Structure 1
Amino acid sequence: MVAGDGSGALSWKTISRKEVYKGGVFTVFEQLSLGPKGRKGLFSVLDARDWAVVVPLIGRGEAAQFLMVRQFRHGSDRASLEFPGGVVEPGEAPEKAAVRELAEETGWMPGAMYHAGTVFPNPAIQSNRFHVFLALDPYPAVERNLDEHEVVDALLIPAGKVREEMGEGELSHALMATALFFAERCLRSKGIPVF
């Protein structure tokens, strides 16, 4: 197993941080750090709130479907097919954020829900974490409550199709591939058949 928590021979000490940009979803800092060999370096760090995503699975085996959302993404300038998710608000638990985002974007609530994994999306420059939850047997329960600029279609997509096409076309969001990986691993760990 590879271990590391930022301590030891690879550790850097932050000397100073200067805010160079503050936007709606992230802040960029210029960070001066002292390395383990006594050398200083200037690094850009993108501070953002954590993100939470929920992988809603309906049914099992060949009949399994994912509840997904299609929305336009300005960074890629194209539509993206994704699992419901969004930012974790200050003081909010990641699991609560995942449930909130599922309800807001789809109007559905989770049946059983499990934490499937947490990763750093891009630890070279970003400080935030990406939390993945698996929701089994979600059900329609509430009215959707989209954010002001969200235009989202909620869709049921065959799980096998998502698995087969992940990384192509509208399914090319790297974090959704990560979420799918964690969901499959979580299913296997619970002895639930993977689609």
Structure 2
Amino acid sequence: MHRHWRPSSLARTWSTLGARIGRPQQASEPAAASPLHATTLKISFRPVVVIQTHRAMSTDTPAPELQEPHILRKSVIASANWVSLKKIEWVDPRGVTRSWETAERTTRSGDCDAVAILALLKGGPKPTETVLTLQYRPPVDKLCVELPAGLIDKGETAEKAAVRELKEETGYHGNVVRTTGIQVNDPGLTNANMKLCILDVDRSLPENMHPVATPEDGEFIDRRLVPVRELLAKLEAFQQEGLAVDARLMHLAIGMNLSGFLTDTVDGSS
């Protein structure tokens, strides 16, 4: 029997983003109490007991060798304008052939489908804010709270798509300061993927003082500005009102809170 501990390592990934929104960098400064209400998460550490068992095995029966799982073939079950339903035949690590049903976008022109935008609005006396979008999503039959996002056009970079989509959906002009790699959205259901772009938006610029969105036909988008330090609390309030919150946005807010940088003052003037 072995006893292991699992310390959290979430905080190490947020130093860059913390710097973008004006987090104080003094290493010796003690952490302030979280400004969030009861939504602030407390982490406790519990020992995890791992019991190792040994199964007697005949010397005449060697352990089966595992192999790399791989796809044999894909076949189209049904296809529409935006989505295709396919059947995947694949081989598992033990060599057993299995089947899987998956939904795939028909619009992918490169290695990445879409981009999401985390816009950081700075300048003036206000604290750093981010902009969220609210729009009705028929698959869940609810108004959904999301980051601005959109598909990447053919021949377009993720950065160009991010600037374009932010302007179309919110009216704000921003500059890309960081782009992530490709992440998958829901790998048990679809191969859809996306990148996240972080943009700085200067509120003092004339084009950002009275932004006007230019959504595409059929898009009905409501824009909401939320102080970054209040993001988690605001998302939970939206849920209490009956709105759906995009899981990726909620995970981002929880991760930011766990990292600890939201416990510091968000200056917004930097």
The question of a shared fold, defined as TM-score above 0.5 by the shorter chain, is answered with yes
Q: TM-score range by the shorter chain?
A: 0.7 to 0.9
Name the CA distance, whole Å, in 1 between partners of 2:157 and 2:229: 31
The residue that corresponds to 1:21 in the other structure is: 78
The structure with more radius of gyration: 2
**TM score, norm. by length of structure 2:** 0.58
Name the CA distance, whole Å, in 2 between partners of 1:76 and 1:23: 19
How many equivalent residue pairs?
A: 184
Asked if the contact 2:88–2:100 (Cα under 8 Å) also holds between the matched residues in 1, the reply is: yes
Cα deviation, 1:91-140, whole Å, max 9, x if unaligned, reads 32222222221111112121343114542111122112121111112554
The residue that corresponds to 1:68 in the other structure is: 132
* Higher strand proportion: 1
**TM score, norm. by length of structure 1:** 0.77
The residue that corresponds to 1:81 in the other structure is: 145
**Change in CA separation of 1:138 and 1:78 when aligned onto 2, cut-off 3 Å:** farther
The runs of 5 or more residues in structure 2 that have no matched partner are 1-65
Asked if the contact 1:62–1:160 (Cα under 8 Å) also holds between the matched residues in 2, the reply is: no
The residue that corresponds to 1:53 in the other structure is: 116
Percent same amino acid at aligned positions? 18
C-alpha RMSD over aligned residues: 3.3
**Change in CA separation of 1:65 and 1:46 when aligned onto 2, cut-off 3 Å:** same
Residue 175 (structure 1) aligned with residue 244 (structure 2): no
**Change in CA separation of 1:112 and 1:41 when aligned onto 2, cut-off 3 Å:** closer
**Change in CA separation of 1:121 and 1:10 when aligned onto 2, cut-off 3 Å:** farther
Cα deviation, 1:5-37, whole Å, max 9, x if unaligned, reads xxxx56322222111122333212101112232
Asked if the contact 2:120–2:200 (Cα under 8 Å) also holds between the matched residues in 1, the reply is: yes
The runs of 5 or more residues in structure 1 that have no matched partner are 1-8
Matching residue's letter, 1:177: M
Matching residue's letter, 2:116: V
2:100 to 43, 47, 54: 43
